[in-house]
Structure formats: structure tokens, C-alpha cells
């Protein structure tokens, strides 16, 4: 039997053999008492990688973002962010429930926000009708797979500082963005007061994300994490693979990006498939299928070939590479598309 290939997302990655070994031997303590050595090590390593004062290990990226909103804002504040970002689209409306804030979305040009559009929406003055602008959020890499240029982040960060508004970065894939830009993650993180990134996506840890910022902010976020039920006990078994994610796995992300470009280029040669190869910045390939293609048949052929993929939405399909997708897996994926498109 052939191995299953899973290109639905990079969240599907399994921990590497080295991670499983590290989990087995991890020293643990009760982290709510501050006793878990692995959690301390992971948090200080993460803070160091982003050049922030402190960091907090949280169960998910979603919780990291929501914790940032809760810790930065007062109930009734307004948060300015892109209309297509993860916090708006994929966090179950949590910002209304948890932080009790109002989201003020702005148009996004493939993930890029204009500083002038943000500026127009910053609440100035003491009009009693206005909510207070409590936070600006950016996302890099964007969940559309594109990396936002540092110049864009710089101009928005300058604007935020002028108005004394904190800036949070959803950097779920910040290490992919840094790999694409050829810079350190800290060079991206410098433009934000707080940063969330995921250990559990392309970096292959089984669970967990990091929220980083100033020591004072992280102390308050730690209390809020407890409030949300996210205080974890013998969490060293999860911190151990997180440390490997930050030391080893960050170094191989270019391989995933390379494989995404190869996959994209090969699929783009098939009749009727449209891919903008310039949009493949990280490990994500978006393709448009010919309108007359029987997508049910394509999905069934992929299933039969042992390939898990999400079906197209509005004619667009997303395939993601990660450490478990190698050249052979790419051959198998391309073979199915080739057969289906030549029928
Ligand atoms: C940009 C972005 N932010 C946040 C998240 C949430 O991460 P998690 O799935 O760990 O909650 C994701 C997940 O895919 C994401 O793509």
C-alpha cells in the first residue's frame, strides 16, 4: 500500500521522529506553578528568535490571536484589520465573544493593507459616539500564501506609533515569510508590539503557538490565558517538539517553498489549469481549474490515489507542501491531475 499524501494544509504535519523522541524524554513540571523547564526554555528561545522581551506558549494560533486582542484592548474598543485576515474570517467571531471588541475591516490588496486606509479609520478626538481604536492587526505571511513586503509593515507601524495604537502581527507563518524574504523573523517582528506564530504548521510540532511581546504584556497575557482555561500543566512534552521546531525545522522551510514552486510549475503546464506562479511565495499553491472539469471525478481520483486534498471553492483549489511532501509525492499528485485533465 502507498503512503497517504496530505496536501490539505500544513496543519496536517505529523511530529518528526526527533520530536517524538524528545517528547518521550522531556523533563516536566506543573507550568501553572511555573515549574516546567521545557516551557521556560521554549518561551525564552521564542522571545529571542523574535527579539521580544518575553513569550508565552499557547495551545493554538487562534488562542494566541484572541489572547492578544483581549490583552491589548478594553471591551468596546475597535480593532482595524484586513477584511480577508484569519482573525476576521476563521476565528469563529471570537473577538466579539472574548475581547468584546468591534472589528473594523479595510480592503486588502492580496493581503496588503494601505496605511492611508488605516489612517482614515483611526478614531481621533473625543466624540462621544466613537469607540476607541484599541489595536491594529496585520498578517504575514498572509493566509493567501503571499508575503507582505517589510516596507508596507514599516509604514503601518510608523502610523500606529504616531497614534499610540499597538500593533499585533498574526505571524502564524512568520518563519515562512522570513525564509521568503531572506531575513530573520525578528526583522519582521520589529514592526509589531506583539506577534503570534504557530509551531504546529510547517514547523511540524503537534500542538502549540507562541505569543510574544513586552514582559509586562506577556505577564498580563499569561493571566488571561489562565482565564481562558489555557493554563497547561506538564506541558514540557509539547514544549520539547516546539524547541525542535524552532531550532531544526525553521531551517528547512525553503525545501517546502521549492516543492510548492515545482508543483505549481508542473500543474501550470496542464491544459486549462491557471496558476500565477509569482504568487507562490511560501508553501501554498493556488490553482484555477477549467470550468468544464468534473471536479467530483477529480476529487474521487485523488482519493483513490491516496491523496487528501480539499475540494475547490469558487473554482480555486489550494494545495500545500510540508516536510512530508517530497518529490515522489509531487509526481503522484501531478499524475492524477494529468490523467483527469487529458480526459
Ligand atoms: C494566518 C493564520 N492565523 C492563525 C491561524 C490559527 O492557527 P491554529 O489553527 O493553530 O488555531 C491560522 C491557521 O491556519 C492561520 O493560517
Residue 276 has a CB neighbour count (10 Å cut-off) of 11
Q: What is the pLDDT of residue 125?
A: 87
With contact defined as beta carbons under 8 Å apart, do 273 and 334 qualify? no
- Cα separation values, 229 from 63, 236, 240, Å: 10, 18, 22
Report the run of H or E that residue 160 belongs to, with start and end: helix 150-162
Q: What is the pLDDT of residue 2?
A: 74
As a whole number of angstroms, the distance between CA 323 and CA 308 comes to 15
86 lines ligand 1 (CB under 6 A): yes
Dihedral sign for Cα 324, 325, 326, 328, please. Answer: positive
Based on the fold, state whether residues 158 and 197 are members of the same structural domain: yes
Atom from ligand 1 closest to the CA of residue 173: 1
Q: Which residues, at least 6 apart from 183, have a Cβ–Cβ distance to it below 8 Å?
A: 150
139 lines ligand 1 (CB under 6 A): yes
172 lines ligand 1 (CB under 6 A): yes
Based on the fold, state whether residues 213 and 312 are members of the same structural domain: no
Based on the fold, state whether residues 260 and 217 are members of the same structural domain: no
The residue whose CA has the least distance to atom 16 of ligand 1 is 143
* Domain stops at, among 250, 273, 305: 250
Substitution site in 58, 61, 242 for ligand 1 pocket (most atoms within 8 Å of beta carbon)? 61
CATH of the domain at 297: 3.90.1150.10
Enclosing domain of residue 191 = 17-250
* Domain stops at, among 250, 275, 298: 250
Substitution site in 10, 82, 90, 228 for ligand 1 pocket (most atoms within 8 Å of beta carbon)? 90
Beta strands in 151-248 (DSSP E): 167-170, 194-198, 209-213
Note the pTM of the prediction, 2 decimals: 0.97
Q: Closest by alpha carbon to 211, among 172, 166, 164, 250?
A: 172
Low-confidence ranges of the chain (pLDDT < 70): 1, 343
Atom from ligand 1 closest to the CA of residue 141: 1
Q: What is the pLDDT of residue 1?
A: 63
Based on the fold, state whether residues 97 and 236 are members of the same structural domain: yes
Report the run of H or E that residue 55 belongs to, with start and end: strand 54-58
* Domain stops at, among 204, 229, 250: 250
Domain count, the chain: 2
Based on the fold, state whether residues 153 and 51 are members of the same structural domain: yes
DSSP 33: G
Residue 214 has a CB neighbour count (10 Å cut-off) of 14
> Would you state the cell numbers that stand for residue 306, as one nine-digit string?
491516496
Based on the fold, state whether residues 160 and 283 are members of the same structural domain: no
Based on the fold, state whether residues 238 and 264 are members of the same structural domain: no
As a whole number of angstroms, the distance between CA 171 and CA 176 comes to 9
Q: What's the CA-to-centroid distance between 284 and ligand 1, angstroms?
A: 14
Cell 506577534 found at: 195
CATH of the domain at 166: 3.40.640.10
Amino acid at each position: 500500500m502507498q503512503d497517504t499524501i496530505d496536501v490539505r494544509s500544513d496543519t496536517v504535519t505529523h511530529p518528526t521522529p526527533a520530536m517524538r523522541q524528545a517528547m518521550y524524554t522531556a523533563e516536566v513540571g506543573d507550568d501553572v506553578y511555573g515549574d516546567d523547564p521545557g516551557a521556560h526554555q521554549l518561551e525564552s528561545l521564542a522571545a529571542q528568535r523574535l527579539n521580544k522581551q518575553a513569550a508565552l506558549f499557547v495551545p493554538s494560533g487562534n488562542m494566541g490571536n484572541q489572547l492578544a486582542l483581549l490583552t491589548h484592548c478594553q471591551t468596546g474598543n475597535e480593532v482595524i484589520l484586513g477584511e480577508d485576515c484569519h482573525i476576521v474570517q476563521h476565528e469563529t467571531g471570537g473577538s466579539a465573544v472574548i475581547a468584546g471588541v468591534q472589528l473594523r475591516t479595510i480592503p486588502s490588496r492580496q493581503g496588503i493593507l494601505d496605511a492611508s486606509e488605516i489612517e482614515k479609520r483611526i478614531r481621533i478626538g473625543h466624540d462621544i459616539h466613537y469607540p476607541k481604536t484599541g489595536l491594529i492587526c496585520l498578517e504575514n505571511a498572509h493566509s493567501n500564501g503571499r508575503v507582505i513586503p517589510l516596507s508596507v509593515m514599516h509604514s503601518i507601524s510608523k502610523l500606529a506609533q504616531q497614534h499610540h495604537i499597538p500593533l499585533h502581527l498574526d505571524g502564524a507563518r512568520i518563519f515562512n515569510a522570513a525564509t521568503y524574504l531572506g531575513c530573520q523573523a525578528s526583522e519582521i517582528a520589529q514592526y509589531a508590539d506583539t506577534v503570534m506564530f504557530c509551531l504546529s504548521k510547517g514547523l511540524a510540532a503537534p500542538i502549540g503557538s507562541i505569543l510574544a511581546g513586552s514582559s509586562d504584556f506577556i505577564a498580563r497575557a499569561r493571566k488571561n490565558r489562565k482565564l481562558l482555561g489555557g493554563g497547561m500543566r506538564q506541558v514540557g512534552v509539547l514544549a520539547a517538539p516546539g524547541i525542535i521546531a524552532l531550532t531544526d525545522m525553521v531551517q528547512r522551510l525553503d525545501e517546502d517553498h521549492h516543492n510548492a514552486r515545482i508543483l505549481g510549475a508542473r500543474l501550470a503546464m496542464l491544459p486549462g489549469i491557471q496558476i500565477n506562479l509569482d504568487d507562490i511565495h511560501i508553501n501554498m499553491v493556488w490553482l484555477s481549474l477549467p470550468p468544464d472539469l468534473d471536479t467530483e471525478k477529480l476529487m474521487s481520483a485523488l482519493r483513490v490515489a491516496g491523496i487528501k486534498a480539499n475540494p475547490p471553492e469558487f473554482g480555486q483549489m489550494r494545495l500545500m507542501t510540508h516536510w512530508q511532501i517530497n518529490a515522489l509525492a509531487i509526481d503522484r499528485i501531478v499524475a492524477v491531475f494529468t490523467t483527469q485533465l487529458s480526459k
